[in-house]
Each structure stands twice: as C-alpha cells, then as structure tokens.
Amino acid sequence: MLKEFKDFIMRGNVLDLAIAVIVGGAFGKIVTSLVSDVIMPPIGLVLGQVDFSRLYINLSSTPYASLAEAEKAGAPTINYGVFLNAVIDFLIVAFLVFLLVRAVNRMRKPQPAPTTKECPYCLSTIPIKATRCAHCTSELKAA
C-alpha cells in the first residue's frame, strides 16, 4: 500500500496540481495586495476619500465611530466594504485566468480533422469518406 501511495504522489498530475495550488495561493496574495493597496485607494479618493475596507453596516442599536470600535465592542456588523474588495479580487483573478487560458489555447496547434477511420468489421484503416471497405468489401454507414 505504501508503494502504491508513493506511485500516486509521484505521478506528474499530482505534483503539477500541488505546485499550482502553492503558486495560486501566492498569486492570490499578490492580487489581494494589488486590489487593497493599489486599485482601491484611487477609487476611494475619486469617490470622496472612501476606504472600502472600513465600510460597514452597524446592526446594533449603539452607534460606533468606526468599524474597529464596533468590532472591539463585539457589535454585529455587515462588512460590505471588505466584501467589495473580495469581489474585485475575484474579478481580477478570473480575468487573469481567462487571459492565461486564452493564451495557452492560442499556442496549441489545432488538431487536423481525421482522414481515416477503422472498418467495424475487419478493423482495417480506410479513408474517412469510404462507404465500402476495400479490404473486406463490407458496406459501411455514411459518416
């Protein structure tokens, strides 16, 4: 059983997946920093000095001056500014993954259409447009 586990782990797909998860986690941190430290401050400035990470709705009857005060007091809040940052994070990551997949798909060579098929009776290779097998003379269904 240990040998089977080692064979499973050493397969290329599992190692590729592990590397992708590690790189994806690091990439996620970069995108989060990009959104919270580079993109959102100018947007907040344009919208009137708004820091999105501090936007919240206080669900308690006690008013608080800031999100930090509300959290410190243990008041229930809806932190929609943090949610907005997360949505923008997701959209940026999704767009970058889209661009990556698109680039990879363009680099792949298109697969040529098959020119031959196998006769279902004698298993010989025949042209794709053939209606009768040249080897066993069986009549074939049109493709």
pLDDT band at 76 (very low <50, low <70, confident <90, very high): very high
Tokens at residue 113, please?
């259409």
Domain that holds residue 128: 112-143
pLDDT band at 39 (very low <50, low <70, confident <90, very high): confident
Neighbouring C-beta atoms of residue 99, cutoff 10 Å: 10
Is residue 126 within 8 Å of residue 135, measured between CB atoms?
yes
pLDDT(12) > 70 = no
Q: Quick one: 38 and 83 in the same domain?
A: yes
For the stretch 34-71, what's the b/e string if a residue is b when 16 or more beta carbons lie within 10 angstroms of its beta carbon? ebbeebbeeebeeeeeeebeebbeeeeeeebeebeebe
Q: Quick one: 105 and 119 in the same domain?
A: no
pLDDT band at 8 (very low <50, low <70, confident <90, very high): confident
How many helices (H) and strands (E) in the chain? 5, 4
Share of the chain above pLDDT 70, in %: 97
Q: Quick one: 72 and 106 in the same domain?
A: yes
How many separate domains does the chain show?
Answer: 2
Q: Quick one: 17 and 53 in the same domain?
A: yes
Of residues 12 and 103, more confidence is placed in 103
The CATH number assigned to the domain holding 103 equals: 1.10.1200.120
Please provide the average confidence, as pLDDT, over all residues in the chain: 84
pLDDT(77) > 70 = yes
Q: Quick one: 143 and 100 in the same domain?
A: no
Q: Quick one: 90 and 120 in the same domain?
A: no
Residue 136 has φ and ψ, to the nearest 5°, of -110, 0
pLDDT(143) > 80 = no
Out of 6-10, 39-43, 101-105, 106-110, which region has the weakest mean confidence (pLDDT)? 6-10
Q: Quick one: 139 and 77 in the same domain?
A: no
Q: Quick one: 124 and 104 in the same domain?
A: no
pLDDT band at 125 (very low <50, low <70, confident <90, very high): very high
Q: Quick one: 16 and 81 in the same domain?
A: yes
